Amino acid sequence: MSDSIGVAVIGAGMAGKAHAAAYKVANSLYAPVLPEVRLVSIGDVNAEFGSAAARRFGYERNDTDWRSIAAADDIQVVSVVVANKLHREIVEGLLDAGKHVLCEKPLSDTIEDARAMEAAADAAAARGVLARIGFTYLRAPGIAAIGDLIRSGRLGHVLHFSGRYWCDYSCSPSAPISWRYQGPMGSGALADVGSHMSYIAEFLAGPVASVSGGTLTTVIGSRPQPLGQVIGHDHGAVSDVYEPVTNDDFAAFAVTFEGGAAGTIQASRVAAGHANGLIFEVFCENGAARFDQGRPAEIGLYLHDDAYTAGYRQVPLGAPHPYVAGGLPMDVAGVGFGQNEAFAYQARAFLEEVAGLDEASSLPRCATFADGVHNMELLGAVARSAADHGKLVQL
């Protein structure tokens, strides 16, 4: 194990800043067994954005070309958090340079590029170089706790999953055009937020066997060009020149799981009033559980153990639940936590693997590029179903 790990983040947007902040606090989680984590560079083609993020999160410098990060001897670990269509070139270049890479989901905007990235990751692994994808919601203590309840038999076999991820960042027709709105059908709301719900569904109910009833809809057909740079979901000044939206604002589909369960999933970026509305319920042979990202420090739980008091009860999450004990300064029930902490847990797990530590904090390792390809294959099946009037598609 080396004495230190140099870290860079490529992308200074909303999710890029989440990665940057996560590396900053990663060594404060759990026992301090990691090597020193050196915060080296924030990469962004916009020097102003990159410099501002580097100053905010304590990184030594900023770079405007990812190739500078690939060539830097003081950097060993890189998060790639840029437009999906840019992932392949950057990730492959970093792996060739011997950098360990944590790539945001989805792997790419095409399944062909994603499979090429998986092949590059396999080749890099033979040289001891890691490539992982961030399925961040698997770091949510509530979601992990529900998974434990299913696999332990307390909830038992899954019968039915119902999930939705509703967001409102695109509900205004004046939201400026950006890369998020340009790509094939299925690369919009489905890839952006539906990807999260699909891997959560498989985490809880097992592999998906088929999808049907695929629906992909664009409800705002064009958006104005921005007058300046757009970060994340920002709504800035716009011009009177409009460009077409080519991907989906809303997605929905039904699933069957290999274990026999059934379910439905919705994804929307035009759901006014739902800033980050990830909600699901999972119904099992011995009860049910639900999770609401708006209340991430608790879960709803119903068990068939007392007919007289049957019904959901809220369970505050604390030290007995996954990831919490020793991971937070205050690890007792009733102290809030949410999505930002999930990025920190993710960064910690990746750095532990890079350092060669054996499950030092009992955090599961990050998903592989093969997992990322599988997630895209599932989303691709939804797109094929939608293109064929909801036809059933086997995975």
Whether 73 shows a pLDDT value over 70: the answer reads yes
pLDDT digits (tens, 9 = 90+) for 91-101: 999 999 999 99
The band of 299, judged by pLDDT with boundaries at 50, 70 and 90, is very high
At position 254, the amino acid (one-letter code) is A
Same domain membership, residue 127 and residue 35: yes
Give pLDDT, residue 307.
80
Rounded Cα–Cα distance for residues 241 and 52 (Å): 29
Q: What integer best gives the mean pLDDT of the chain? A: 94
Same domain membership, residue 191 and residue 74: no
Same domain membership, residue 301 and residue 158: yes
Taking each continuous run of H as one helix and of E as one strand, the counts in the chain are 10, 18
What is the average per-residue pLDDT within 32-53? 95
CA separation, residue 200 to residues 52, 68, 160, 161, 380 (Å): 34, 36, 13, 10, 17
Residue of 365, 299, 295 lying closest to 146 (CA atoms): 299
Same domain membership, residue 174 and residue 244: yes
In a domain, 288, yes or no: yes
Residue of 393, 367, 389, 370 lying closest to 380 (CA atoms): 393
Which of 136, 155, 176 is the endpoint of a domain?
136
What is the average per-residue pLDDT within 99-104? 98
In a domain, 393, yes or no: no
Which of 83, 117, 136 is the endpoint of a domain?
136
Give pLDDT, residue 241.
94
Q: Give pTM, 2 decimals.
A: 0.93
Q: Which residue has the tokens 């088929």?
A: 210
pLDDT digits (tens, 9 = 90+) for 117-137: 999 999 999 999 999 998 999
In a domain, 359, yes or no: no
In a domain, 92, yes or no: yes
Rounded Cα–Cα distance for residues 289 and 291 (Å): 7
Percent pLDDT > 70 in the chain is 98
Same domain membership, residue 217 and residue 249: yes
Q: What burial class does residue 394 get, using C-beta atoms within 10 Å of its C-beta: 0-12 exposed, 13-18 middle, 19+ buried? A: exposed
Same domain membership, residue 81 and residue 205: no
What is the average per-residue pLDDT within 275-298? 96
Same domain membership, residue 182 and residue 117: no
Phi, psi at 258, each rounded to 5°: -60, -30
Whether 1 shows a pLDDT value over 60: the answer reads no
Query: Residue 292 belongs to what domain range?
Result: 141-334+374-387
pLDDT digits (tens, 9 = 90+) for 156-211: 999 999 999 999 999 999 999 998 999 999 999 999 999 999 999 999 999 999 99
Residues 6+ apart with CB under 8 A from 203: 138, 143, 147
Give pLDDT, residue 229.
74
In a domain, 350, yes or no: no
Whether 309 shows a pLDDT value over 60: the answer reads yes
In a domain, 351, yes or no: no
Residue 96 vs residue 2, higher pLDDT: 96
Same domain membership, residue 30 and residue 167: no
Residue of 282, 238, 297, 310 lying closest to 149 (CA atoms): 282
Whether 331 shows a pLDDT value over 90: the answer reads no
Phi, psi at 38, each rounded to 5°: -95, 125
Rounded Cα–Cα distance for residues 280 and 273 (Å): 17
Give pLDDT, residue 212.
98
Whether 339 shows a pLDDT value over 90: the answer reads no
In a domain, 315, yes or no: yes
Percent pLDDT > 90 in the chain is 85
CATH number at residue 222: 3.30.360.10
What is the average per-residue pLDDT within 78-100? 97
Same domain membership, residue 185 and residue 129: no
The band of 232, judged by pLDDT with boundaries at 50, 70 and 90, is low
CA dihedral for 127, 133, 136, 139, sign (positive or negative) = negative
What is the average per-residue pLDDT within 245-264? 98
CATH number at residue 71: 3.40.50.720
In a domain, 344, yes or no: no
Give pLDDT, residue 359.
67
Residue of 209, 206, 203 lying closest to 146 (CA atoms): 203
Q: Give the relative orientation of helices 339-354 and 14-25 as an angle to the nearest 10 degrees.
A: 60
Give pLDDT, residue 93.
98
Same domain membership, residue 272 and residue 160: yes
What is the average per-residue pLDDT within 5-16? 95
Same domain membership, residue 156 and residue 107: no
Same domain membership, residue 104 and residue 177: no
Token pair, residue 105, equals 């989901």
What is the average per-residue pLDDT within 212-227? 96
Which of 94, 113, 136 is the endpoint of a domain?
136
What is the domain count for the chain? Answer: 2
Residue of 343, 345, 356 lying closest to 5 (CA atoms): 356
The band of 337, judged by pLDDT with boundaries at 50, 70 and 90, is confident
pLDDT digits (tens, 9 = 90+) for 340-369: 899 999 999 999 999 999 766 778 899 999
